[in-house]
Chains A and B, each alone.
Chain A
Amino acid sequence: MYYKFSGFTQKLTGSAPTAAYSPQGLRPAIPAESPTMIFATPTKMVSEAGATAEYMGANRVPDLQRLFQTSDGIPVHLKRGVPDRLLYRTTMALTVGGALYCLVALYIAAQPSNK
């Protein structure tokens, strides 16, 4: 990543490579003695810097890891709360209802036909 001096924050910020190759020079507003360099953000490797890291949404994995690793004794299939319970109960209702309906259907199918 390339850096330039930001006149607004008075700190170093990231910049495009082209900006880094054309020196800013001395401007009236900037004091002749350069201020102590303070990095606006912790320095990062090129691969994890800026726009690429945000490509197609932010990383929510750490939050989800925190959520799913809380020790509250809830089994993994219900750990996310209401949506999980809703889906689980729908599935269970279909399982019990379907099994009963199936037994009835098979019982009817087993009766001799009157033809």
Chain B
Amino acid sequence: MAHQAHAYHMVDPSPWPLTGAVAALLMTSGLAVWFHFHSTMLLLLGTILLLLTMFQWWRDIIREGTFQGHHTPPVQKSLRYGMILFITSEVLFFLGFFWAFYHSSLAPTPELGGFWPPTGITPLNPFEVPLLNTAVLLASGVTVTWAHHSIMERERKQAIQALTLTILLGFYFTLLQAMEYYEAPFTIADGVYGSTFFVATGFHGLHVIIGSTFLAICLLRQIRYHFTSEHHFGFEAAAWYWHFVDVVWLFLYISIYWWGS
């Protein structure tokens, strides 16, 4: 490696921005072709290309950080800023759905019967499965903190166990939500109640799945000795993301499930 007199990461030329851009082109064109000509070929091609790009790009970031040592303290600082900005943008994304929900529910239109939940809607009981889901996510917040402290204290075995438990709790939440969707007495087509409910909780569910995947990658990396007690930002980013998903659920539970019913 050539001598460099600073601590910043000079990246190698990479093909992944190009392949990712083409994947985006194929997926959007693929959607249009699917809608108009009933062919999923282009969409499938785009999805495969996107998955290949994601796998190889993130694999290279692990190589750069863990194996080549490019993630020096100033580089880690930038990674932290990046993750903070990303989560902030996600907070604003969810703020939009809460805005839609409160806009519709605080002053229900005459078409809804002038009250909330609207006429004809039987909401889910917030003290059944949704309360269990709240407990599951809060418990997973505890286990992810246990995993973090285990990594910091070099407790390899405990870190693996705590991380596994966190992921299992995440899967349990997803399973419960899937069952709740299946059992729900209303659909996404049932007016503004159905659309705000399923769009908000659906995007939250998607984020839980993404967070579980993120944590599962961290578990794999922990098993392979990628994290040290001092340097484990990949895990910390996953933990931040997981806490964000947890907090969004608390707002969803209080607003849509409890107050909204």
Contacts and interface: CB of A to CB of B under 8 A. Distances in A.
A75 interface: yes
A95 to B, nearest CB: 5
Interface in B25-48: 25-26, 29-30, 32-33, 36-37, 42, 45-46, 48
A3 B18 CA distance: 59
Nearest to B155: A47
B45 A94 contact: yes
Given A71-B1, A92-B19, A56 B223 contact: yes
Contact of B32 (A47, A48, A77, A109): A109
Interface in A23-73: 47-48, 52-53, 55-57, 59-61, 64-65, 67-69, 71
Instruction: Determine chain B's interface SS by DSSP, over half rule.
Output: helix
Interface in B205-261: 223-226
A46 to B, nearest CB: 11
Contacts of B48: 94
B77 interface: no
Instruction: Determine chain A's interface SS by DSSP, over half rule.
Output: helix
A90 B52 CA distance: 9
Contact of A75 (B13, B42, B157, B160): B13
Contacts of A19: none
B60 interface: yes
A102 interface: yes
Contacts, number: 100
A91 to B, nearest CB: 5
A87 interface: yes
B53 interface: yes
Interface in B53-85: 53, 56, 60, 63-64, 66-69
A76 interface: yes
A64 B46 CA distance: 32
Which of B19, B46, B226 lies at the interface centre, i.e. has the most chain A CB atoms within 10 A of its CB?
A: B19
A102 B26 contact: yes
Contact of B33 (A60, A64, A65, A105): A105
B63 A88 contact: no
A87 to B, nearest CB: 6
Contact of B29 (A68, A71, A88, A106): A106
Contacts of B14: 75-77
Contacts of A68: 63, 67-68
Nearest to A55: B157
Nearest to A45: B154
B200 interface: no
Contacts of A98: 22-23, 26, 42, 45-46, 49
A79 interface: yes
Contact of A61 (B30, B46, B49, B66): B66
B94 interface: no
12 contacts: A60-B224, A64-B67, A68-B63, A77-B14, A77-B15, A77-B56, A77-B60, A91-B15, A95-B23, A101-B42, A102-B30, A102-B42
Given A101-B42, A102-B42, A109-B36, 9 more contacts: A55-B160, A69-B67, A87-B56, A91-B49, A94-B45, A94-B48, A98-B42, A102-B29, A109-B33
